[in-house]
């Protein structure tokens, strides 16, 4: 009986440790619309391998990063990370 309880508690602990990684993996393949509509804990409706527009090629509104950084009219975000 004692060995069964130990095995069961270790199985529960293992599931608790793996659960965050499963959630991250599922959220990695969700579309932005699916994540917004259903939240982080739902299963994805479909698989998405496309990158979001904010993490795309690194340009801002068609300008290159160097242009965005040197422009006086550029937003503070585009000057530091070029992902706005």
CA distance 81 to 56: 12
Contacts 24+ apart (CB under 8 A), 71-77: none
- Whole-number pLDDT of residue 46: 78
Question: Taking the domains of the chain in order of start, what are their residue ranges?
Answer: 1-50, 53-84
> Which pLDDT tens digit goes with each residue over 8-34?
999 999 999 999 999 999 999 998 898
∠ Cα 35 41 45 (to 5°): 50
CA distance 9 to 56: 44
CA distance 62 to 55: 14
CA diameter of the chain: 72
- Whole-number pLDDT of residue 47: 75
């Amino acid at each position: 009986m004692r060995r069964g309880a130990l095995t069961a508690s270790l199985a529960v602990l293992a599931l608790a440790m793996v659960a965050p990684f499963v959630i991250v993996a599922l959220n990695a393949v969700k579309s932005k619309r699916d994540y917004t509509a259903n939240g982080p804990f739902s299963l994805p409706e479909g698989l998405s391998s496309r990158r979001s527009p904010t993490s795309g090629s690194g340009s801002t509104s068609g300008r290159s990063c160097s242009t965005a950084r040197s422009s006086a009219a550029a937003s503070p975000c585009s000057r530091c990370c070029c992902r706005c």
